[in-house]
């Protein structure tokens, strides 16, 4: 997997994206993309590829079909070669636990047992009339196995996991030839449970009791007609009537042949059918669904007493046990194989499994308040049930165990702990992929979001280990610039493989990150006009946390920090500061000798700030242009507010710490000279009398342009995230005020 070429069109929020990811010299590529640009859409697209649902990819808002053409070394990527790790899925549970618990020998045994089970369920399909699976409301649902579990009220939701219980049961009455579906169809069952039908059953039972009395060899509740029919079948199949063996009923009916016993049974059945209430029951079954039941009762009149409401649950069980009896040999074969598998599962040493290895990876690196174990080991290994992970909490020697659903219902985990649990399930899946030996492209979408620093760095370390696997390729996406930088450095991702996402027109473009160290360092080494201006807030930040040497030398400005503040805010000396003054400060604090030739030292800095801002276009997406635009926007906004405030003749109020002050314009401006956060102070006063449109624009200024831009990436990330078109739009609004 050397080259992955992506051609995406109308893929959720991505209108167009074309990029070739070159993994020839790396296993990991990092992508920085601001929020709302492309990350979620990119990962959703690849999740659909992973699920084999490429046809479902579309622009969800406009309803346009999407195209996701992804090729690996010239061939279309396959679902098994993609794995998407989303930022967080609260209900996510790995389906890889089973494969991490067993070796190949046990997997082979499991495969044998599951095949036998499938064949046996096919037989039960034939007897019961139910389907293993059916389609309901357009979805595939399981029918037969869940019905068995429900009828016997098993705790384990699996035929196999209850097979030993079934093996110990025997049908009290064998109802061969009766299909479960012919009785327990919802329409038929509604008819059976009706008051009228139930009343007829009572009458029928009374009438049949009288018939039983006429045949002394039958006894109600003990030796009934159904049992006589079962006996007949058993005697015939076991060849009882050889060697002149005979059967005596009530000591006087001599039975020498199977046919004679059948005749006696037929005689009893005919008398039952001749009972008037039997005819009445048949008349009630005249519709299409009833006809099936009518035929069933004609052939099996002895089943009627079991149609009483209180006996229906017993009848369900008797029918299933009858079917097992009919396929006794096949059932016993399945039971024997299952018992062998159960013995092998009992011998598994959990500490030697890949599951334990994955759990150790998690517990050694991530801080969570619980320990984990699997409570339904057998079902999880066989694959008959989802692994149930129990969480053990220990305090003062007391241990409390909770299932995951209980844990979620109690809502006792922090968001970070919930994310850690999600990550554990992801680790299970990754370990399974690792064991498969397949080449896999991982799309990692902001996996470290909302983790504390310890766990965040544990994630970075795990990503590093993944990147060392020769079969893994990683596309790591993040909107968090600090994390993007960290993972790029920790994984030693090369310059050409550190990408940033931008939007040009309607196309997402992935470009090599321009400043792969601190941008401040790159600007210092290339002091052209744009870089000199962009460095102003950074140099001011250096002076703020260092020693102010006051080399600016402008009358009325008390320090170099204040001088640079005049270039970031509209002050009385702002229009006096030239590049020659700036050069003195840069020389002293940065050790530079000269600016580039496009910096004219006699020019006013504020004029060049606006000149540069006026030349910025949508193509100028670099950090330096965003910073200069932000500075220009603040100056224009403050200039406008100062002008309007100075015109105002009424009373103004402003806050000094916790105290409210009231006064005239001159009083406020005097306070402003010593205040902090000048833009905010001006805005709080202006909105007391200003116009709604201008107030709205100035609110945008406060939101979009940072008061301070610091040396580390964490602090200049907000403006880096800002779309250049948004800043340009705001600049134009402020210019128009």
Q: Poorest-confidence range of 245-254, 488-497, 600-609?
A: 245-254
C-alpha distances out from residue 87 to 32, 369, 516, 600, Å: 15, 21, 25, 49
220: helix, strand or coil: coil
| Claim to verify: residue 342 and residue 480 sit in the same structural domain | no
Q: Is residue 271 part of a domain?
A: yes
- Here the tokens at position 626 are 């965003």
**Residue 641 sits in the same domain as residue 726:** yes
pLDDT band at 721 (very low <50, low <70, confident <90, very high): low
If you average pLDDT over each of 234-248, 392-406, 579-593, which comes out highest?
579-593
- Identify whether residues 111 and 252 lie together within a single domain: yes
pLDDT score for 333: 95
Q: Are residues 50 and 121 in the same domain?
A: no
Q: Strand order in 398-403's β-sheet?
A: 371-374, 389-395, 398-403
351: confidence class by pLDDT, cuts 50, 70, 90: low
Question: Which phi and psi (to 5°) does residue 141 adopt?
Answer: -130, 150
Model pLDDT for residues 408-430, shown as the tens digit of each residue: 677 766 666 666 677 777 887 88
Nearest residue to 178 via CA among 191, 188, 164, 168: 188
Confidence of residue 718 (pLDDT cuts 50, 70, 90): low
Give yes or no: residues 191 and 236 share one domain.
yes
The CA distance from 342 to 161, in Å, is: 10
Instruction: Examine residue 708 and state whether it is found in any structural domain, yes or no.
Output: yes
The mean pLDDT of 137-145, rounded to a whole number, is 86
- Do residues 161 and 224 share a domain? yes
In degrees, rounded to 5, the angle at the alpha carbon of residue 448 between the alpha carbons of residues 447 and 454 is 145
φ, ψ at 362 (rounded to 5°): -70, -50
Residues 564 and 493 in one domain: no
Predicted pLDDT at 712? 47
Please name the residues in contact with 452: beta carbons below 8 A apart, sequence gap of 6 or more: 367, 416
Question: 581-632 pLDDT, tens per residue?
Answer: 999 999 999 988 899 999 999 999 999 999 999 999 888 878 889 899 999 9
Of residues 261 and 52, more confidence is placed in: 52
Residue 380 domain-assigned (yes or no): no
Residues 463 and 526 in one domain: no
Question: Residues 707, 615: one domain?
Answer: yes
User: What is the extent of the structural domain holding 313?
Assistant: 103-347
452 domain-assigned: yes
β partners of residue 85: 444
Structurally, how many domains does the chain consist of?
3
**Residue 472 and residue 341 share a domain:** no
pLDDT at 479: 84
| Spatial separation of the C-alpha atoms in residues 156 and 20, rounded to whole Å | 50
Burial of 348 (0-12, 13-18, 19+ CB in 10 A): middle
Spatial separation of the C-alpha atoms in residues 698 and 686, rounded to whole Å: 10
Domain end call among 299, 321, 347: 347
Do 45 and 110 share a domain, yes or no? no
Last residue of a domain, one of 512, 531, 561: 512
Note whether residue 170 is domain-resident: yes
- The confidence score (pLDDT) of residue 695 equals 93
At 637-682, the pLDDT tens digits run: 999 999 999 999 999 999 887 889 999 999 999 998 877 778 888 9
Report if residue 407 sits inside a domain: no
H helical segments located in 376-472? 377-382, 404-410, 415-436, 453-467
- Whole-model pTM above 0.85? no
Core vs surface per residue 538-550: b (16+ CB within 10 A) or e: bbbbbbeeeeeeb
Query: Residue 292 domain-assigned?
Result: yes
Chain-centroid distance of CA 131 in Å reads 31
Q: Which residues pair with 443 in a beta bridge?
A: 84, 475
- Same domain for 580 and 561: yes
| Whole-number pLDDT of residue 201 | 80
Q: Could you please report the per-residue DSSP string of 521-554?
A: HHHHTS--HHHHHHTHHHHHHHHHTS--------
Instruction: Decide which of 481, 512, 543 is a domain's last residue.
Output: 512
Please give the Cα distance from 121 to 59 (Å, whole number): 43
C-alpha span between 619 and 454 (Å, rounded): 38
If we measure between CA atoms, which residue out of 539, 594, 548, 564 comes closest to residue 711? 539
Provide CB contacts within 8 A for 524, sequence distance 6+: 531, 535, 590, 592
Q: Does residue 381 fall inside a structural domain?
A: no
CATH number, domain containing residue 90: 3.40.50.300
Radius of gyration of the chain (CA): 41
Distances (CA, A) of 348 to 102, 103, 343: 8, 9, 9
The pLDDT of residue 286: 67
């Amino acid at each position: 997997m050397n080259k992955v070429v992506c051609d995406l069109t109308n893929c959720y929020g991505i209108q167009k994206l074309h990029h070739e990811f070159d993994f020839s010299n790396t296993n990991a590529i990092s992508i920085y993309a601001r929020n709302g640009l492309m990350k979620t859409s990119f990962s959703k697209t690849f999740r659909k590829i992973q699920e084999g649902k490429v046809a479902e990819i579309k622009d969800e808002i406009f309803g346009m079909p999407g195209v996701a053409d992804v090729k690996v070394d010239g061939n279309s990527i396959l679902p098994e070669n993609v794995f998407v790790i989303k930022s967080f899925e609260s209900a996510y549970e790995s389906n890889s636990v089973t494969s991490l618990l067993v070796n190949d020998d046990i997997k082979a045994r499991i495969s044998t047992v599951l095949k036998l089970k499938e064949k046996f369920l096919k037989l039960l399909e034939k007897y019961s009339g139910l389907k293993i699976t059916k389609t309901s409301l357009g979805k595939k649902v399981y029918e037969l196995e869940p019905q068995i579990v429900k009828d016997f009220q098993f705790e384990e939701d699996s035929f196999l996991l209850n097979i030993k219980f079934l093996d110990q049961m025997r049908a009290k009455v064998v109802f061969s030839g009766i299909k479960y579906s012919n009785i327990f169809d919802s329409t038929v069952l509604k008819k059976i449970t009706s008051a009228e039908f139930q009343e007829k059953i009572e009458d029928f039972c009374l009438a049949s009791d009288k018939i039983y009395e006429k045949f002394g060899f039958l006894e109600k509740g003990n030796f009934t007609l159904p049992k006589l029919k079962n006996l007949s079948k058993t005697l015939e199949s076991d060849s009882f009537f050889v060697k002149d063996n005979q059967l005596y009923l009530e000591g006087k009916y001599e039975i020498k042949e199977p046919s004679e016993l059948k005749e006696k049974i037929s005689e009893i059945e005919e008398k039952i059918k001749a009972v008037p209430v039997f005819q009445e029951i048949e008349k009630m079954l005249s519709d299409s669904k009833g006809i099936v039941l009518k035929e069933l009762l004609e052939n099996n009149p002895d089943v009627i007493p079991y149609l009483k409401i209180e006996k229906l649950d017993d009848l369900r069980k008797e029918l299933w046990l009858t079917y097992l009896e009919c396929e006794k040999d096949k059932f016993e074969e399945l039971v024997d194989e299952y018992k062998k598998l159960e013995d092998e599962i009992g011998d598994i040493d959990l500490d030697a499994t890949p599951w334990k290895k994955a759990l150790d990876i998690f517990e050694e690196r991530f801080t969570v308040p619980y320990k984990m174990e699997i409570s339904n080991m057998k079902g999880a290994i066989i694959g008959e049930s989802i692994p149930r992970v129990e969480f053990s909490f220990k305090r003062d020697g007391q241990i409390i165990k909770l299932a995951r659903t209980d844990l979620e219902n109690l809502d006792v985990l922090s968001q970070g702990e919930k994310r850690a649990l999600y990550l554990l399930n992801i680790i299970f899946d990754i370990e399974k992929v690792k064991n498969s030996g397949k080449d896999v492209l991982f799309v990692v979408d902001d996996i470290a979001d909302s983790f504390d620093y310890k766990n965040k760095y544990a994630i970075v370390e795990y990503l590093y280990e993944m990147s060392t696997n020769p079969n893994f390729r990683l596309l790591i996406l993040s909107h968090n610039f600090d994390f993007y930088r960290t993972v790029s450095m920790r994984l030693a991702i090369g310059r050409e493989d550190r990408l940033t996402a931008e939007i040009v027109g309607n196309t997402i473009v992935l470009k090599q990150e321009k400043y792969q160290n601190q941008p401040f360092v790159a600007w210092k080494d290339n002091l052209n006009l744009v870089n000199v201006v962009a460095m102003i807030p950074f140099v001011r930040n250096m002076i703020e946390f260092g020693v102010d040497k006051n080399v600016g030398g402008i009358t009325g400005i008390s320090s170099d920090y204040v001088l640079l503040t005049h270039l970031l805010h509209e002050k009385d000396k702002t229009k006096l500061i030239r590049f020659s003054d700036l050069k003195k400060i840069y020389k002293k604090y940065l050790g530079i000798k000269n600016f580039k030739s496009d910096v004219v030292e006699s020019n006013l800095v504020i004029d060049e700030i606006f000149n540069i801002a006026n030349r910025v276009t949508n193509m100028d997406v670099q950090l330096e242009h965003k910073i200069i635009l932000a500075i220009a926007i603040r100056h224009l906004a403050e200039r406008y507010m100062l002008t309007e405030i100075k015109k105002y003749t009424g009373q103004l109020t402003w806050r000094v710490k916790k105290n409210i002050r009231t006064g005239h314009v001159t009083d406020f401006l005097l306070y402003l000279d010593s205040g902090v956060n000048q833009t905010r102070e001006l805005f709080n006063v202006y909105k007391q009398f200003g116009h709604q449109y201008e107030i709205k624009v100035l609110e945008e200024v406060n939101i979009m342009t940072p008061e301070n831009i610091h040396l580390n990436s964490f602090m200049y990330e907000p403006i880096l995230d800002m779309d250049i078109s948004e800043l340009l739009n705001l600049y134009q609004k402020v210019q128009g005020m």
